[in-house]
Structures are given as structure tokens and as C-alpha cells.
Amino acid sequence: MKRTLIVFGATCVVAFLVLHVLGFRDYVSILSGTPGPGGESGVFAAATGLLYAIAWFSAVLVAPIVFLSVAIHSGLERVPDRSFGRKSRAEQATG
């Protein structure tokens, strides 16, 4: 599960970088109802603008939170189970 989450976060970052390098930043003008570069206002422009915006927020907001969550979760796993309302295995064995 952690591996999946890390891959997901990394994919968000890479996807944004690819869209940025392809020069799709200008298409986000569609968010203000303004046609994109060259006056494009069709499905491609809208989809591209929306995709770039989603990729940006995924890369700078979602992905870091995912990475931090995985790291924090790894740390929390070292905390005894009793802290989360569950007996440790040793306690379960002795009853």
C-alpha cells in the first residue's frame, strides 16, 4: 500500500512536469472563461487547462501530503498498539 501511494505521488509530480514542459500553463486561462492561446476555446483547450491545473495542485498539494502521510504512518507504526486501543501481541498471548 505504501509503495502504491509513493508511486501515485511521484506520478503526480512527473505528470505536472511533463505538462509544464509541453507549455500547457497558458491554457489555464480557461478557468477565467477566457479562450486559450490562439483563441482556442474548444474541448481541447478546456481539457488541457483543467488538466494542467489539476496536475499543479496534485504536484504541490496532494503529492507532498501523500509522501508525508507515508512517512508519518511509518513512524506511527512504531508506537505500541495499545495507544490505538489494541493489546500488543505479548499482552494477547498472556491474556
Partner 1 sequence: MTKRSSLSRTVRALLAVFLAVAVWVPALGAMFGAGATEDEKSRRAELLLTEQLDPWKGGDSETVDRMRVANPEWDFMGRTFLVLALANRALSFPDERARNLSVMDDVINATMRADRRFGMHYFLLPYSRRAPFVREPEASMFVDGELALMIAARQAVEPRRDLHGELRERIQALVEVFESAPMMSGESYPDECWTFCNTTALAAIRLSDLSLGTDHSALMTRWVAHARANLLDEETRMLISSYTYEGEHLDGPEGSSIFMSATNLLLVDPEFAREQYDLAREHLAKNTFGFGYAREWSAAFAGPVDIDSGPIVPIVEASPGASGMAILGASAFSDDEWLRALMTSLDFAAFPIEDGTSLRYAASNQVGDAVALYAFSFGPLFALASEPTHEVIAWNGAAQ
User: Under the rule (CB under 8 A), what is the footprint of partner 1?
Assistant: 25-26, 28-29, 31-35, 38-39, 41, 53, 56, 60-61, 64-66, 68-70, 72-73, 76-77, 79, 81, 84-86
Residue 11 or 69: the one with the smaller Cβ distance to partner 1 is 69
**Least CB distance to partner 1 at residue 5 (A):** 10
Whether the Cβ atoms of residue 50 and residue 30 lie closer than 8 Å to each other:
yes
**Least CB distance to partner 1 at residue 43 (A):** 16
